[in-house]
Amino acid sequence: MRLSPWSIPSCACKKSSRKLRICRKAFKAAYREKLNALVIFKPPNTPVEIVLDYYDNDYEIAEPPRVTSLKNTQPLPTITNFGESFQFVHESRRFKSIVHHLAKAYLASDNETITDPRLKLNKVVCEVEYTKKGVKVTTENGEVYTSDYVIVSVSLGVLQSKLIDFVPDFPFWKLKAIYTSNIANLDNEFPGKNILMVTVADEETRRIEQQEDSETLHEIIVVLRNMFGSKVPEAESIYLPRWLADPFFKDTFSNWSIRVESNIFKQLQVSHYRSRNL
């Protein structure tokens, strides 16, 4: 007897044929969900395959294919939304010009300077309390701000670190969605005036963030000299952005891992107000 993924015991839904159809439909949906979440991963063997694998996967999403779902990588949303061209744009007004252009729609500005008193900078939020009357936000220095609504745009790493206390706390299913989702780490090192960027991801990022910059710089020089010979000079300096240790980031990417299904992703998106009324 040949069994298909859709074959289920009819005794599971004896009450009616309608229940049987519903049961089969739910089983099919769950099976497709699991199938779509899995990555068919063939480890690279040759040096070229290793480089291409790293560039296509680790470099893009900060984690290796073995833990990454196809649901958010095939196709890659960046390419789907913005195209396959990778272009470098040099803007003499710098990136802040985009921020100021958007801010002018609702904040008072004067010659590229935001003067609106409603904009509060350098305020570290430590507590968000939601009541029937609205939202109260408390900062580290004791200042309190109230509003009807609050949009929380911190990274997933900050949510997982509990640096912000939400009162009342999220329900269990919301917390499960937060802690089930992956935070990924990608660090770039920039040694010297003639800048050379070195990119590491996943566990290598965690290792490097724990050691001294001088040790990391030495490792880079050793690799370069193995590749290009002993004439490679010493770098004058190195800059390493430690995103994992930064309390305002705690990560660089949010990766859709193989254990995260669509319903968990949707639960992560649900607002605090709605979650309290579900």
Q: How many whole angstroms separate alpha carbon 222 and alpha carbon 232?
A: 9
The one-letter amino acid at 237? S
Q: What is the pLDDT of residue 263?
A: 81
pLDDT along the chain (278 residues), means of 10: 38 47 53 49 81 81 78 76 75 80 87 85 92 90 92 88 89 87 69 76 87 92 92 88 86 77 80 53
Q: What is the pLDDT of residue 3?
A: 36
Tokens found for residue 223: 């690799």
Q: What is the pLDDT of residue 44?
A: 81
The one-letter amino acid at 81? N
Q: Classify the C-alpha dihedral 70-71-72-78 as positive or negative.
A: positive
Q: Are 37 and 257 in contact (CB under 8 A)?
A: no
pLDDT digits 0-9 by tens, 212-231: 999 999 999 999 999 999 99
Q: What is the pLDDT of residue 28?
A: 53
Q: What is the pLDDT of residue 38?
A: 47
Q: Classify the C-alpha dihedral 82-83-86-89 as positive or negative.
A: negative
What is the secondary structure of 32-52 as a DSSP string?
HHHHHH--------SHHHHHH
Q: How many whole angstroms separate alpha carbon 17 and alpha carbon 23?
A: 10
Q: What is the pLDDT of residue 1?
A: 37
Q: Which segments of 38-155 does DSSP mark as H helices, in order?
A: 47-53, 59-61, 77-82, 96-103
Tokens found for residue 40: 């068919």
